[in-house]
Structure 1
Amino acid sequence: MPPPIPATIAALHDAYRAGKLRPTDVVEAWLARDASERAAPVWISVQSPEVLRARASTLDAQLRTDPQRALASPVFGTLFAVKDNIDCAGLPTTAACPAFAYDPAEPAFVVAALEAAGAMVAGKTNLDQFATGLVGTRSPYGAPPNAFKPEIVSGGSSSGSAVAVAKGLVHFALGTDTAGSGRVPAGLNNLVGWKPTRGLLSVRGVVPACRSLDCVSIFTLTVADAARVFRVAATFDAADPCARSLALDRPLLRHEFTFAVPRAADLEFFGDSLAQAAFADAVSRMKALGGMPREIDFAPWREVADSLYDGPRVAERHAGIRAFFDAHADAVDPTVRRILDRGATFSATDTFVAEARLDELRAKLTPLWSTFDVLVVPTAPTAYSIAAVQADPIELNRRLGTYTNFANLLDLAAIAVPASMRPDGLPSGITLLAPAGGDLMLAHLAQRFHATGTLPLGAIGVAAPAAETLAGHGDTVQVAVVGAHLQGLPLNRELTERGAKLVRSTRTAPHYRLYALPATTPPKPGLVRTAGEGQRIAVEVWELPASAFGRFVAGIPAPLCIGTLELEDGSHVQGFLCEAAAIAGAEDISRFGGWRAYLESRNPRTTSATPQKETP
């Protein structure tokens, strides 16, 4: 029986560093699952055991020969799912329409980037056909059941991707989000759903829904894991005409901030009092974080949302698959066909009239962002049964997009984050939105909010881990140093030459022991977490650009490595650890409380710089 596989990427990497797991173990655990967990309706196709085992074997070798370099990748050794409107080499792309299926010559750009970073594709997941829907019921492969109540919709169109993550089948999944397909399923399955700023993740190799609005989205159990995936996936693709390169430098909302919410008269839950109560509770928790609410007139936002399906914009969906649809309309799901047929009825004049009105609404709404930092809305206003949606597929689908359809039309970044569990056993979530480029600011706030709750991860019953320092594209990483990288010591230049800045001096939680490693030049200590009696050990927390973090980690020699350290205030950061085998025969110097104090005890002149005062 394969060893249990950690649910989060952070925990998986800790297991790799400790030598408890290999990528082969991850693959064997996946292959050992019941066949029903690797089949429809969640999956459309899965990778062959031979391909997965060969891939894992290659990664095993990388981990064995150079673990520091391998684990410098945020997604190394992870298993992920891909929505089946995104190309993967060796697997057909169907967009949930068997007659449309083709074998791609190469993977989508974003899939290739993740595979190059050491992630492994488990298979292709089910979706509302041609990514047209928010319900997850419009597929000939069946309707993936909600991870909490199988009679409830899972949300769409990225239904299979969301359920695969919620059930712990994979570490993360890719979806797409044009109208809310990366957020509604997240909200209905207790997940993080990151809809990036349009153009940050390449859509080359993605079957278009509305090409001008399409986004590749990310599903994970935690915000920190989503940031790891984003860091790799948000690579500029010069061959994608929709790609953009933006500075993700919005200031983080650390303390006081202003958040907009729809005024009470505009909030619509379609009679779902549990959803209404859950959102009110989420607003209260946002206020407890330092947020100051500001009610806004939501009518113009709703008008923008309605224009996505109620006007000529829907013609772009027809345009994306026009050649296939015009020749094979009878092979298309009846509800999807009805929508695409309507797209062909609008004139060019209708399109320009609608675009002019959208410009007016943008001009009205854009200045409002100077009066608040983020917009907070329910992710989904309610949750419907599969039977109810099948009986009324258009209207109930439209309702689920109440708080999502406007985002891409207004060029907003958005992150859906779990909020609470309702008394009826269904999850409830909220979505945070900001103008283009606000992705990392939103992620930071989303993690702060998520950490205020007591929700387990997805539907797997595992407690949520402590909040982490997020590292995203263009962001910074905090790393705790304990020895020769301390300020004024010989290897500190490896930090400063990469633009690192000292954030604070503090101590670890009392779960560590420090050893003087023999025969190292310059002298270095080894920090080891212990299950027995430990000490608080002095560390410095440095912040360096995320783009330089991988190179820094790659230069760290064994037996040292970078792992997750717990600090005395309960927070977690990346930091120096040591392989347990290396401390055999090494002097235990924990009693000194830190490397600098140990050096001073041997020779007061050893330290050449006066350290900042440590946190008591």
Structure 2
Amino acid sequence: MASVSDTVASPFRGFTLREWQQHYRSAPDSLRTTLSLVLASLSETDTAWIYLATAEQLEAQITRLETLRDQAEGSLSALPLFGVPFAVKDNMDIAGWPTTAACPAFAYTADADATVIANLKAKGAVVIGKTNLDQFATGLVGTRSPYGAVRNTFNPEYVSGGSSSGSASVLARGLVAFSLGTDTAGSGRVPAGFNNIVGLKPTKGWLSNTGVVPACRLNDTVSIFALTVADAQIVAHAAGGYDAADAYSRKNPHTAPVALPAQPRIAVPDRLEFFGDTQAEAAFNQALDHLRHHGVTLEPIDFTPFRELAEQLYYGAWVAERTVAVGEIFEESPEAMDPVVRGIVANGVNYTACDAWRAEYLRAELARKIHLALEGFDALVVPTSPTIRTQEELVQEPVLYNSQFGIYTNFTNLADLSALALPAGLRADGLPAGITLIAPAWHDDALANFGRQWQRSLSLPLGATGFTMKPEEFMTATPVNAACVRVAVVGAHLTGMPLNFQLTSRHAVRVEQTTTAATYKLYALANTTPPKPGLVRAEGGSTIIVELWDIPLARFGEFVAEIPAPLGIGSLELADGRIVKGFICEPWAISGATDITAFGGWRSYLHSLNSSPVKS
């Protein structure tokens, strides 16, 4: 491992995934020198780290990665994270590395990689070190660790947020390309808000918890920190997937939208609490104004059930889950634990099995109220945290101020919701402000796609790196998501047309308007209700205007089942060469139809009918 005196400045500081990919394309043989330089740039005295890879551990990963590259015959398409360094919260296992959960007496050497680590390594990523945390992931502050408090990356007098404090800190400073945290009560969001980075809190069960030290197994999720939303989304898909070895893992039903509508309807709490922090309040109001300016409709909702459910996580029988998770160390060596963490865990023994069942019934009732309250909305927006505190303030009030940080986060996993914490600019005092978007389970991609637009519209600095996103980061086309089918519609299913509801009622989202390749003819079909066109590939054709819609995969079949003859769904070529599913017409129906190809699209044809002079 590099010593402190050996550390050097890394030329790769603040690299996004796109920049890492460009680097290896331009220097394909630099894997070993690049990662050695990254490791040498890290300091053992940095309290954000608990453990840095040894030279041997780094070499073992590089050797394995070179083998994967050779098996792919030099192509990196199957290794989208090739050579990308990342950090891991030290409550996740890496084979042959120590796992401490920030408690030295608890430490053990892991026999195997946690599933998420194995998944990321299989995509080419390289673990560079393990990060500090509030002990046993108990806290939202980043100060409850024998390895030292992790300080805010913008002002060291303030807290970093926790429990994933180290992962947020090293990512915000651009020391790694992405990092993993965990999130039970907000640990993957509060540190993101305090350090001006993206925190993706996935749907429970999407990312496996095999090989992760539990805090509350029913509510734990592995979370992603990144400088950009696009990077967080890519990493989540690389790390996620069903794991039969995790009893709480589950398969994506593919029924949720993969994007929000162009003009989303977003809920906001009817009563907001900032605990006297006027700068936090001003920053959130400014964020709401920015949302309105970009076409978002904001409507207040009763926040009472959200607040009541949030209180249950630490002030009800749910705390006993933490007591179970800590287990032997609490029973046999309580003095080895952080005093604040020990006090919280000790409360769990005061509850009975009857209390636990009552707590579960209350959770279910409040969760139902929350889901009903969110019906008709595309998301809920809240401050990531209502306030921030100094290190000294946390010494004076370690439990109260921790509790304040969680009022907009604690309910999320209990109610089975997905969440995305986003940077929202800097306050007047120079500290970051953040917002969080929350939606039902499996709406992760919908939130991420909106988050990409949000980040593009603000052009904020990336974490604490001092860099901003480069224009090319915004130039990528909206990707086709495996959880949906992209369909080109040409007639009665267009926006505002009579059958468009068949798309919107299935959570389909409009992606863009474009044209087909210049090889299609469009016909107005006879005797159809409502009137419909037919699209046919033919010589002498032209480009035809279409809309692209993403339909959740599980809803595609029922959509197709409603399509009457002579129409059907086939493969359609677009002007830019993309192939998508789209409406096609059986040739026999053309004999009695009117050729309207010259109009270039269905809307123009209908407009010509409406604007034709009335004959007397």
Scaled to the shorter chain, the TM-score interval is: 0.7 to 0.9
1:81 to 59, 74, 87: 87
C-alpha change, 1:429 and 1:260, in structure 2 (3 Å) is same
1:262 corresponds to which residue?
269
Tell me the SS of whatever aligns to 2:207. Answer: coil
Tell me the SS of whatever aligns to 2:199. Answer: strand
Offset, 1:475 = 4.4
Q: Distance in 1 between matches of 2:148 and 2:235?
A: 28
Tell me the SS of whatever aligns to 1:122. Answer: strand
Q: Is 1:172–2:183 an aligned residue pair?
A: no
2:151 to 145, 150, 158: 145
Offset, 1:251 = 4.7
1:347 corresponds to which residue?
352
Offset, 1:477 = 11
1:69 corresponds to which residue?
75
1:447 to 446, 452, 455: 452
Q: Deviations over 1:435-456 (max 9, x none)?
A: 0110000101111111111311
Work out whether residues 267 and 377 of structure 2, in 8 Å CA contact, stay in contact via their aligned partners in 1: yes
Q: Is 1:368–2:373 an aligned residue pair?
A: yes
Q: What code does the residue aligned with 2:166 have?
A: G
Work out whether residues 79 and 122 of structure 2, in 8 Å CA contact, stay in contact via their aligned partners in 1: no
Work out whether residues 96 and 129 of structure 1, in 8 Å CA contact, stay in contact via their aligned partners in 2: yes
Q: What are the equivalent positions in structure 2 for 1:175-324 lying under 5 Å apart?
A: 175-248=181-254, 249-263=256-270, 266-324=271-329
Q: Is 1:426–2:431 an aligned residue pair?
A: yes
Offset, 1:356 = 2.1
Q: Distance in 1 between matches of 2:10 and 2:146?
A: 36
2:23 to 11, 15, 18: 15
Q: Distance in 1 between matches of 2:319 and 2:365?
A: 19
C-alpha change, 1:505 and 1:165, in structure 2 (3 Å) is farther
Q: Deviations over 1:88-114 (max 9, x none)?
A: 112100000000001111011111111
Offset, 1:471 = 5.0
Offset, 1:423 = 1.5
Q: Deviations over 1:499-528 (max 9, x none)?
A: xx997469xxxxxxxxxxxxxxxxxxxxxx
1:383 to 388, 392, 398: 388
Tell me the SS of whatever aligns to 1:375. Answer: strand
Higher mean Cα deviation, 393-402 or 442-451?
442-451
Q: Is 1:106–2:112 an aligned residue pair?
A: yes
Offset, 1:61 = 6.5
Q: Deviations over 1:404-455 (max 9, x none)?
A: 0000000000010111111111111100010011000010111111111131
1:397 to 371, 390, 402: 402
C-alpha change, 1:144 and 1:454, in structure 2 (3 Å) is same
Work out whether residues 94 and 110 of structure 2, in 8 Å CA contact, stay in contact via their aligned partners in 1: yes
Tell me the SS of whatever aligns to 2:181. Answer: strand
1:44 to 47, 50, 59: 50
Using the size of structure 2 for normalisation, the TM-score is 0.75
C-alpha change, 1:253 and 1:541, in structure 2 (3 Å) is closer
Tell me the SS of whatever aligns to 1:143. Answer: coil
C-alpha change, 1:267 and 1:472, in structure 2 (3 Å) is farther
Offset, 1:66 = 5.2
Q: Distance in 2 between matches of 1:282 and 1:217?
A: 24
1:595 corresponds to which residue?
none
Q: What code does the residue aligned with 2:151 have?
A: P
Q: Deviations over 1:261-292 (max 9, x none)?
A: 011xx201111111101101111111222210
- C-alpha RMSD of matched pairs (Å): 3.0
Offset, 1:298 = 1.1
1:603 corresponds to which residue?
none
1:161 corresponds to which residue?
167
Q: Distance in 2 between matches of 1:283 and 1:23?
A: 44
Q: Distance in 1 between matches of 2:398 and 2:480?
A: 38
Instruction: Count matched residues.
Output: 495
Q: What code does the residue aligned with 1:383 have?
A: I
Q: Deviations over 1:340-385 (max 9, x none)?
A: 1101111122222222222222232222222211000000111101
Work out whether residues 35 and 83 of structure 2, in 8 Å CA contact, stay in contact via their aligned partners in 1: no
Offset, 1:63 = 5.2
Q: Distance in 2 between matches of 1:473 and 1:22?
A: 32
C-alpha change, 1:106 and 1:251, in structure 2 (3 Å) is closer
1:356 corresponds to which residue?
361
1:474 corresponds to which residue?
482
Tell me the SS of whatever aligns to 2:51. Answer: strand
Tell me the SS of whatever aligns to 2:333. Answer: helix
C-alpha change, 1:309 and 1:63, in structure 2 (3 Å) is same
Q: Distance in 2 between matches of 1:365 and 1:226?
A: 26
Tell me the SS of whatever aligns to 1:407. Answer: helix
Tell me the SS of whatever aligns to 1:174. Answer: strand
Work out whether residues 258 and 550 of structure 2, in 8 Å CA contact, stay in contact via their aligned partners in 1: no
Q: Kindly, what percent of the aligned residue pairs are identical?
A: 46
Q: What code does the residue aligned with 1:10 have?
A: R
Q: What code does the residue aligned with 1:219 have?
A: F
Q: Deviations over 1:119-167 (max 9, x none)?
A: 1001110000000000000000001111111111000000000001001
Tell me the SS of whatever aligns to 1:463. Answer: coil
Q: Distance in 2 between matches of 1:3 and 1:334?
A: 38
Offset, 1:40 = 4.0
Q: Deviations over 1:549-589 (max 9, x none)?
A: xxxxxxxxxxxxxxxxxxxxxxxx999xxxxxxxxxxxxxx
Q: Distance in 2 between matches of 1:200 and 1:277?
A: 35
Q: What code does the residue aligned with 1:50 have?
A: E
Q: Is 1:459–2:467 an aligned residue pair?
A: no
Q: Distance in 1 between matches of 2:31 and 2:547?
A: 30
Q: Distance in 2 between matches of 1:47 and 1:256?
A: 46
C-alpha change, 1:472 and 1:237, in structure 2 (3 Å) is farther
**Structure 1 gap segments, 5+ residues each:** 479-500, 507-539, 548-572, 576-609
Offset, 1:324 = 2.3
Tell me the SS of whatever aligns to 1:241. Answer: coil
C-alpha change, 1:45 and 1:278, in structure 2 (3 Å) is same
1:408 corresponds to which residue?
413
Using the size of structure 1 for normalisation, the TM-score is 0.75
Q: Distance in 2 between matches of 1:129 and 1:347?
A: 25
Offset, 1:67 = 7.3
Q: Is 1:327–2:332 an aligned residue pair?
A: yes
Q: Distance in 2 between matches of 1:333 and 1:236?
A: 34
Q: Distance in 2 between matches of 1:189 and 1:387?
A: 18
Offset, 1:32 = 2.9
Q: Deviations over 1:4-37 (max 9, x none)?
A: 226101111122223377322431221331x53x
C-alpha change, 1:113 and 1:61, in structure 2 (3 Å) is closer
C-alpha change, 1:210 and 1:273, in structure 2 (3 Å) is same
Q: Distance in 1 between matches of 2:336 and 2:111?
A: 24
Q: What code does the residue aligned with 2:65 have?
A: L
Offset, 1:231 = 1.3
Offset, 1:65 = 8.2
Q: Distance in 2 between matches of 1:211 and 1:472?
A: 33
Offset, 1:73 = 2.7
